[in-house]
Amino acid sequence: MQATPQDSTAGHYQGNVDAGEVAKFEALASRWWDPQGEFKPLHEINPLRLDFIDARAGLAGKKVLDVGCGGGILSESMANRGAKVTGIDLGEAPLAVARLHAEERGVEIDYQHISVEAMAAQKPGFYDAVTCMEMLEHVPDPASVIRACSALVRPGGFVFFSTLNRTAKSYAFAILGAEYVLRLLPRGTHNYAKFIRPSEMAAWSRDSGLEVREQTGLTYNPLTRHYRLVSHDVSVNYMMYCRKVSD
Ligand code: SAH
């Protein structure tokens, strides 16, 4: 029998989740906040994506849902900009780390173990903004996540996605470079077949009632070892900014 979304609270959710993918993040969870550890790339891109989101959504005072929040790097930084943040993930260990870290820092965030689809059934149109970063390439049905994100945001609300493009360059950088040569990420972190082209992400977004406003690349320079936003180069990691169509 197919599990219902409500089963997520029992930790047995069998819907749109790849248990093996979540297990990878559970195993690494204790190192989430080590800026030199396996999640170093997330720490490095965080100021860039935070500023991108804040400049468009104006985070202060906004109700924001962070989907696939992991250990809370983005959630916490958005809360520090004055947003009222809810973070959801299907990994228990990353959520435990996120809760502990927020408590230590005195940051108030509502972290919940629930699927985005179940959340969409509970709180349609509730959020001013929804963020879903570096998560879509780990789920069996990314279009379902995009539909749920769209359902969760109010008309005119802001939705931000990021993922890895499916190009020869992303294979070279994100898998060969990051996992094998530079060892920035553990081997097996990413699966090339799950990478998503901007055209696919845009089509799923439009089909979900979102208007695609902007896309920008997050490019890594292996020589300087720094990331920056490059609007015209979405060939590896990129973000997409959408607004919910108001009818
Ligand atoms: N968004 C965070 C973490 C990215 S790591 C950031 O960018 O900083 C990817 C996260 O997606 C992990 O925490 C993993 O547990 C989560 N994840 C994977 N599949 C998921 C699913 N089906 N539903 C919710 N979260 C999922």
Any idea where the domains of the chain sit in the sequence? 8-162+197-212
Ligand 1 atom nearest to 15, measured from its CA? 22
CA-nearest of 173, 200, 202, 203 to 189 is 173
| 5 Cα–ligand 1 center, Å | 17
Ligand 1 atom nearest to 162, measured from its CA? 7
* Whole-angstrom distance, CA of residue 29 vs CA of residue 129: 26
Structure tokens, 77:
């930084």
For each of the chain's 247 residues, which pLDDT tens digit applies? 333 444 444 455 679 999 999 999 999 999 999 999 999 999 999 999 999 999 999 999 999 999 999 999 999 999 999 999 999 999 999 999 999 999 999 999 999 999 999 999 999 999 999 999 999 999 999 999 999 999 999 999 999 999 999 999 999 888 998 888 888 888 999 999 999 999 999 999 999 999 999 999 999 887 898 999 999 999 999 999 999 998 7
pLDDT of residue 45: 96
pLDDT of residue 4: 42
Report residues whose beta carbon is within 6 angstroms of any ligand 1 atom.
Answer: 16-17, 21-22, 25, 42, 68-70, 73-74, 89-91, 94, 115, 133-135, 138-139
Amino acid type, 93 = A
Pick the CATH number of 8-162+197-212 from 3.40.640.10, 3.30.1490.150, 3.40.50.150, 3.40.50.2300: 3.40.50.150
pLDDT of residue 10: 40
**Contact, 22 vs 15, CB < 8 A?**
no
| 117 Cα–ligand 1 center, Å | 14
For a ligand 1 pocket test, name from 89, 95, 114, 237 the mutation site with the most ligand atoms within 8 angstroms of its C-beta: 89
* Whole-angstrom distance, CA of residue 52 vs CA of residue 214: 11
Model-wide pTM > 0.85:
yes
